[in-house]
Amino acid sequence: MSYIPSPKQAEELIKQYNKEPFHIQHAQTVSKVMGEFAKEYDPDHADFWRTVGMLHDIDFELYPEQHCVKAREILRDLDIDEDLIHAVISHGYGICIDVEPEKYMEKVLFACDELTGLIGAAALMRPTGLEGMEVKSVMKKFKDKKFAAGCSRDVIRKGAEMMGIELPELIDKTIRAMQAEC
C-alpha cells in the first residue's frame, strides 16, 4: 500500500540519497517555499506541498544524467503515492522528462525550483543575504545571463506563465517565502 511521507520523513529520505550539504539545503529551501505557497493556494495540503518540495531532487546527486527518471524508480521502490511521484518528476518537464505539471502545486514547483537557486545566489552576493532583498535586484540578476548561469531563465519564465502570474510577482512571492520563518 503506497504512502505519503511527512515532510520530516521526506527529509530523512533525502539525506539517505544525498550527502552533499548543498543538495540537502536546496531540498529544504524548496520544501519551505512550497509550504509558504501552499498557505495561499492550498492550506489544507501544505504538508504534501512541503514533502514534494523536499523530495523533488531525490535522485539528482546519484543520477544527474537520469534526473526524474530515476526519481520515479526510487519513489516507486519506496512505495510512495503515485500522485506524489507525478508531482516530483513533473518539475523536470521539457528538461529531462516528458511528464507535464498538471496541478497548480506542480506548476509552482516547476517555477520555484530554478528561481530559489537564482535568489539564493543573489543573496550570497549581499551583505544582508535575503534580508531586505527586493524584486528589482533579482530582476537585474535575472537579466544577467552570466549570473547563476545554471538557473534556467526560460524555465522560470515558463513556470510563471504556467502559474498565470507575472514574473515580478513570482519573484516577490518566492523571496518572501524564502524569508519566512519556519
- Establish if 36 belongs to a structural domain: yes
Average pLDDT, the chain: 96
pLDDT of residue 181: 79
- Establish if 71 belongs to a structural domain: yes
> For residues 159 and 171, what is the distance between their CA atoms, to the nearest angstrom?
11
pLDDT of residue 161: 98
pTM of the predicted structure, to 2 decimals = 0.96
Q: Which residues contact 99 (CB under 8 A, 6 or more apart)?
A: 68, 86, 89, 90, 92, 93
Q: Which three cell numbers stand for residue 28?
A: 529544504
Below-70 pLDDT ranges, the chain: 182
Query: Which of 144, 147, 142 has its CA nearest to residue 159?
Result: 142
- pLDDT tens for 130-160 read 999 999 999 999 999 999 999 999 999 999 9
Q: How many domains does the chain have?
A: 1
Exposure class string for 102-141: b at 16+ Cβ within 10 A, else e: eebbbbbbbbbbbbbbbbbbbbeeeeeebeebebebbeeb
| Residues spanned by the domain of 60 | 7-179
- Establish if 106 belongs to a structural domain: yes
pLDDT of residue 33: 98
- Establish if 158 belongs to a structural domain: yes
- Establish if 2 belongs to a structural domain: no
- Establish if 78 belongs to a structural domain: yes
User: CA of 153: how far to CAs of 73, 85, 110, 148, in Å?
Assistant: 29, 25, 12, 10
pLDDT of residue 182: 58
- Establish if 26 belongs to a structural domain: yes
Q: Which residues contact 178 (CB under 8 A, 6 or more apart)?
A: 29, 32, 33, 116, 119, 120, 123, 130
- Establish if 1 belongs to a structural domain: no
Three-class SS state of 2: coil
